[in-house]
């Protein structure tokens, strides 16, 4: 058992953000493997301006409905809660500089390409693509029970095409691909409804090339078409934990009704990604255990 209790610093749970989801799921897994882990909620601040403020609460609406959270506040005085926070190991997302909540030790969990130099007691990275000096890679694919290709048509026989913008607008001018349905950050409203679309999707035109929604599309047997090379170059992205994406590209004049000649290569890549994602999901508990052990041994 670790000499540390853990506090994961995170916004309230949202299934709309992969980064928020993985922070809450990290809290759950730490509890499942025998540690005590709660959440310290981010309520104010931004990556650009910092100025972060934190709060604690046992309100269920702030939590993952399927999550496990250690209650470090009930029947405790403000002084006792403050002492608990100071003695805990805090796990921050990379948007937070340093250790503003004042934990005994702290971890920075890099969930995207850092916008500033990361200096921390311990650096975990969601992917090897994000930072080259991480102490541990802590990758967890998001595989919802709804995201699968069982009892669906082969992508080449489907008629529905989707456009997804996500955070792509931060990198390039994005547009809705003619003839496709636009998937927005607040529509469909949940994973089950999104999966219903993806299981009927042929081409998933994605302007957010590092979004977990791209791997959702793969799990549902659709073909992600990555629309630019500006977030992470495609040659680098294909070396990520999920494996290489299908060899597909959009260009002006692309005909949605015209199937590519490299169908076998696309099918091989989809199956390869599905296998890789399943293997990494299986490894998640062990990787979290490695994180906790490394912190305890510091």
Q: What are 17-56's pLDDT values in tens digits?
A: 888 999 999 999 999 999 999 999 999 999 989 999 999 9
For residues 202 and 183, the answer to whether their CB atoms sit within 8 Å is no
Task: Please write the tens of the pLDDT for every residue from 2-14.
Answer: 467 999 999 999 8
Any bridge partners for residue 181, and if so which?
162
Task: Verify that 234 and 125 share a domain, yes or no.
Answer: no
Can you state the angle between helices 263-296 and 18-32, rounded to 10 degrees? 50
Task: Verify that 134 and 208 share a domain, yes or no.
Answer: no
Task: Please write the tens of the pLDDT for every residue from 66-104.
Answer: 999 999 999 999 999 999 999 999 999 999 999 999 999
Q: pTM score, two decimals?
A: 0.84
Asked, for residue 287, whether it belongs to a domain, the answer is no
Task: Verify that 215 and 246 share a domain, yes or no.
Answer: yes
Which pLDDT does position 254 carry in this prediction? 63
Cα separation of 17 and 191, whole Å?
12
Asked, for residue 114, whether it belongs to a domain, the answer is yes
Rounded to 5 degrees, φ, ψ at 106 are: -150, 155
In which domain, by residue range, is 100 found? 6-138
Q: How many domains does the chain have?
A: 2
Give first-to-last CA distance, the chain, whole Å.
14
Task: Verify that 161 and 133 share a domain, yes or no.
Answer: no
Task: Verify that 32 and 112 share a domain, yes or no.
Answer: yes
Q: Which of 138, 163, 197 is the last residue of a domain?
A: 138
Asked, for residue 293, whether it belongs to a domain, the answer is no
Q: Which long-range contacts (CB under 8 A, 24 or more apart) does 109-115 make?
A: 109/23, 109/26, 109/138, 110/134, 111/18, 111/19, 111/22, 111/23, 112/19, 112/210, 113/231, 113/232, 115/47
User: Of 86, 135, 98, 161, nearest to 294 (Cα)?
Assistant: 135
Task: Verify that 77 and 197 share a domain, yes or no.
Answer: no
Asked, for residue 146, whether it belongs to a domain, the answer is no
Asked, for residue 163, whether it belongs to a domain, the answer is yes
Asked, for residue 285, whether it belongs to a domain, the answer is no
pLDDT greater than 80 at residue 252: no
pLDDT band at 1 (very low <50, low <70, confident <90, very high): very low
């Amino acid at each position: 058992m670790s000499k540390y209790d853990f506090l994961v610093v995170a916004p309230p749970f949202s299934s709309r953000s992969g980064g928020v989801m993985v922070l809450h799921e990290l809290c759950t897994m730490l509890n499942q493997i025998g540690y005590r882990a709660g959440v310290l909620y981010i309520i104010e601040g931004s990556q650009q301006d910092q100025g972060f403020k934190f709060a604690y609460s046992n309100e269920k609406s702030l939590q993952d409905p399927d999550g496990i959270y250690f209650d470090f506040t009930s029947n405790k005085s403000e002084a006792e809660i403050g002492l608990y926070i100071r003695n805990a190991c805090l796990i921050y997302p990379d948007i937070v500089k340093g250790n503003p909540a004042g934990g005994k030790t702290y971890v920075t969990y890099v969930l995207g390409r850092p916008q500033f130099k990361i200096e921390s007691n311990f650096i975990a990275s969601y992917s090897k693509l994000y930072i080259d000096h991480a102490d541990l890679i802590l990758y967890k694919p998001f595989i919802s029970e709804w995201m699968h290709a069982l009892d669906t048509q082969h992508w080449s026989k489907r008629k529905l095409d989707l456009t997804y913008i996500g955070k792509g607008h931060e990198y390039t001018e994005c547009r809705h691909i003619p003839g496709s349905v636009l998937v927005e950050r607040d529509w469909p409203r949940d994973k089950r409804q999104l999966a219903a679309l993806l299981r009927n999707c042929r081409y998933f035109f994605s302007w957010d090339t590092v979004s977990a929604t791209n791997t959702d599309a793969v799990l549902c047997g659709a073909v992600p078409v990555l629309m630019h090379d500006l977030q992470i170059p495609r040659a680098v992205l294909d070396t990520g934990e999920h494996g290489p994406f299908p060899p597909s590209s959009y260009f002006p004049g692309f005909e949605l009704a015209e199937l590519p000649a490299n169908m076998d290569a696309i099918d091989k890549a989809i199956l390869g990604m599905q296998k890789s994602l399943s293997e990494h999901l299986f490894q998640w508990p062990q990787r979290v255990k490695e994180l906790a052990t490394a912190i305890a041994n510091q």
